[in-house]
């Protein structure tokens, strides 16, 4: 199998600003993640819990990231993104696999996440890794445009329970 052109590793302090800048760029798309511009990059950079954040790097650039908020009563809540130019090349899959492994290693019993119903790429990615749709929050997120968007809730049990 050819070697992957990217690597997955735990986030380090020096990844904070690149990851927050990537977050701001994806927020500009106003499509996949709930955040919309303007993103306060310094504040976002400071907010990453490095212990629960993984990054994808190519050469020395951060091209993706996944973070697990919590634990909340034993479950972790995922957030993730991949740089536009790197999508469709396996980065998202590698990040989700690493987050599942990380969650198991931490003894979490479950991972959960929220995704917009129109985000077909993300929903297919999560399904591919075993996440199931558990529900739908209606008109849940107010967009800058004033529109109210639904959210799909997905979850993956990590143990045998
Ligand atoms: C969703 C996202 C993380 C996917 O990352 P990615 O690196 O492009 O995903 P991968 O290349 O690893 O693809 C993995 C799987 O996802 C699905 N997928 C990815 N892109 C897809 C697309 N455009 N359409 C349909 N399915 C898609 C496929 O099932 C794919 O598996 P396959 O290659 O065996 O068909 C990426 O599109 C992204 O960052 N989007 C913007 C931010 C975002 O939406 N974050 C998630 C918020 S819930």
The 10s digit of each residue's pLDDT in 101-118 is 999 999 999 999 999 999
pLDDT at 134 over 90: yes
Q: What is the mean pLDDT of residues 142-151?
A: 98
What pLDDT was estimated at residue 2?
73
- CB-ligand 1 contact for 89 (6 Å cutoff): yes
User: 137 near 153, Cβ under 8 Å?
Assistant: yes
> Whole-angstrom Cα distance, residue 150 to residue 89?
28
- CB-ligand 1 contact for 156 (6 Å cutoff): no
Q: What is the mean pLDDT of residues 93-107?
A: 97
- CB-ligand 1 contact for 129 (6 Å cutoff): no
> Whole-angstrom Cα distance, residue 62 to residue 106?
24
Residue of 90, 137, 82, 138 lying closest to 112 (CA atoms): 137
- CB-ligand 1 contact for 152 (6 Å cutoff): no
d(CA 47, ligand 1 centre) in Å = 25
H helix or E strand, kind and range, residue 92: helix 91-105
Q: Which comes out higher in pLDDT, residue 1 or 89? A: 89
Q: Which residues are 145's β-sheet partners? A: none
Q: What is the pLDDT of residues 12-31, one digit of tens each?
A: 999 999 999 999 999 999 99
Q: What is the pLDDT of residues 27-85, one digit of tens each?
A: 999 999 999 999 999 999 999 999 999 999 999 999 999 999 999 999 999 999 999 99
Q: What's the pLDDT band for 159 if we cut at 50, 70, 90? A: confident
């Amino acid at each position: 199998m050819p070697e992957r052109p990217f690597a997955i590793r735990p986030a380090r302090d020096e990844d904070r600003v690149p990851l927050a800048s990537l977050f701001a760029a994806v927020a500009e798309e106003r499509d996949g993640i709930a955040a919309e511009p303007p993103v306060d990059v310094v504040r976002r950079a400071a907010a990453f819990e490095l212990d629960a954040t993984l990054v994808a790097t190519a050469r020395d650039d951060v091209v993706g990231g996944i973070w697990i908020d919590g634990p909340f009563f034993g479950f972790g809540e995922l957030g993730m993104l991949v740089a536009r130019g790197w999508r469709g090349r396996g980065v998202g899959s590698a990040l989700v696999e690493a987050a599942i492994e990380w969650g198991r290693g931490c003894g979490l019993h479950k991972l959960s996440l929220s995704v917009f119903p129109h985000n077909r790429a993300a929903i297919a990615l999560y399904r591919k890794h075993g996440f199931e749709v558990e529900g739908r929050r209606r008109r849940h997120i107010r967009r800058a445009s004033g529109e109210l968007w639904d959210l799909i809730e997905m979850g993956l049990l990590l143990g045998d329970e």
